[in-house]
A and B are shown apart, each in its own frame.
Chain A
Amino acid sequence: MLSRRLVPCLDVRDGKVVKGVRFRDHVVMGEIVDLALRYRDEGADELVFYDITASPEGRSVDRGWVERVAREIDIPFCVAGGIRSVEDARAVLHAGADKISVNSPALERPSLIDELAAAFGVQCVVVGVDSLRDADGEWRVRQYTGDPTRTQALARRTLDWIVEAQQRGAGEIVLNCMGSDGVRQGYDLEQLAVVRALCNVPLIASGGAGAPEHFCDAFLEADVDGALAASVFHSGAIAIPALKQSLAGWGVEVRT
């Protein structure tokens, strides 16, 4: 049976893994390859590297570290941040990334998704969606969330965008529920379940993991294929081997 995936997300800035609340107060946590290997050894199923500076500054991801990771790592990894063209994506995929994830540039120009799917196949193309519930009760997408001073609320409804992204060739959706992000009170199960019903490709939950039970809820209640988290893994608050053991005990299929 296909296992559910645990996906640590590493923020990369200038070739180092950093932590901080997005653009503020960044602390260098270590070398990319060292941390990637640590997560591989702990049993992470996949890694996402998010270049936190790339997209708002309008530049592409530096590919040097992508190749270094690809040489050392024997689990799949995805690169996000600053991929705005087929050429950007090609450089990252040829450097050894398994998938590329697009977010703000796909909102600027949705046909980017079609172009990427045509060039590399849908299996390489992940669409990241930052979503927040507005006062009228609708979930809508946000753009440029990497930089709080530039973040924009769009008129586009999250559910419409999820459908359109799949039609255009998204092979996987990462839904970052901004309302629950960073507060460690659990994934946004309501929103994830609604999106799940519209999502025929793999769906990855993001935003809100604080305890092992939160992962279990996302898998069993919202039926997501993978769960992404950053701070709880980086801080050591949740260790992946123990988390997998708990999940298996709760009846979630995990790779052991």
Chain B
Amino acid sequence: MGVVLVDAGGTNIGSVRYALQRLGVDAALTSDAETIRSADKVILPGVGAAGPGMARLRELGLEALMRSLTQPVLGVCLGMQLLCERSEEGDVACLGLIPATVRRFEEQPGLRVPHMGWNQLQRRREHRLLEGLVDGDWAYFVHSYAVPLGDHALATTDFGGEFASVIARDNFHGMQFHPERSAKVGARLLKNFLEL
């Protein structure tokens, strides 16, 4: 029932919850497998590193459950990265739902990592998640690792080269930026997810 936020220890979970409240949705914060399984929509937020993030899902006994979900799932920031096959961050296996390996931004002159601040989204594929999004819309990013381009990329962003900033495969979706901190653009994309 309803929308649930998977409590895997990310510090931004409160902010995501408030963003949903601003859209009129009261999401339950849970790490209970049955509550997650029976939810209409599942959001996996996350701030931190891939290794501890996966370890936490495993400790909570949620790893297999996350893979088996059939309702719309949204990973935010680290949550999106955990949907992928692997992450270079600590070289850990992730959930394997999106065929991609999360890579660290390569050092380049003038490229300051972490990628922190407002950057633009470019649409790559038509998808209901992107409804109302215009090329060049701004979103707020904070991350050092990114998902490369591929069939999963719904939208891309340029930071010393393009990376996938919105992804989807089957019922699994991800946003690398923080929709809860991306003003109207973020609110619209969260609303789109709630309406999938």
A204 CB to nearest chain B CB (Å): 10
Q: Write out the residue numbers on chain A whose beta carbons fall within 8 Å of the beta carbon of B19.
A: 74
* A71 touching B18 in the complex, CB below 8 Å, given contacts A94-B11, A124-B47: yes
Contact A2 B183 (CB under 8 A): no
Contact B181 A76 (CB under 8 A): yes
Judged by a CB distance under 8 angstroms, whether A241 is at the interface is no
**Total cross-chain contacts (CB, 8 A):** 95
Could you tell me the distance between the alpha carbons of A74 and B185 in the complex, rounded to whole angstroms? Answer: 10
Q: Which of A70, A120, A200, A223 contacts B113 (CB 8 A)?
A: A200
Q: Write out the residue numbers on chain A whose beta carbons fall within 8 Å of the beta carbon of B140.
A: 75-76
Judged by a CB distance under 8 angstroms, whether A243 is at the interface is no
Judged by a CB distance under 8 angstroms, whether A51 is at the interface is no
Classify chain A's interface size: 35 or more
Could you tell me the distance between the alpha carbons of A74 and B113 in the complex, rounded to whole angstroms? Answer: 23
For chain B residues 82-112, which have a beta carbon within 8 Å of chain A? 110, 112
Judged by a CB distance under 8 angstroms, whether A45 is at the interface is yes
Contacts from A to B (Cβ < 8 Å): 1-5, 40, 45-46, 67, 70-72, 74-76, 90, 93-96, 98, 120-124, 171-172, 199-203, 223, 225-226, 255-256
Stretch in B32-40, B116-124, B147-155, B163-171 touching the partner: B116-124
Contact B47 A202 (CB under 8 A): no
Q: Is the interface of A mostly helix, strand, loop or mixed?
A: loop
Judged by a CB distance under 8 angstroms, whether B130 is at the interface is no
The 22 sampled A-B contact pairs (Cβ below 8 Å) are A1-B158, A2-B117, A2-B159, A3-B117, A3-B118, A3-B119, A67-B14, A70-B15, A74-B22, A74-B183, A74-B184, A74-B187, A75-B140, A120-B48, A122-B114, A123-B114, A200-B113, A201-B114, A202-B114, A225-B112, A255-B118, A256-B138
Q: Write out the residue numbers on chain B whose beta carbons fall within 8 Å of the beta carbon of A4.
A: 117
Judged by a CB distance under 8 angstroms, whether B31 is at the interface is no
Q: Write out the residue numbers on chain B whose beta carbons fall within 8 Å of the beta carbon of A122.
A: 114, 144
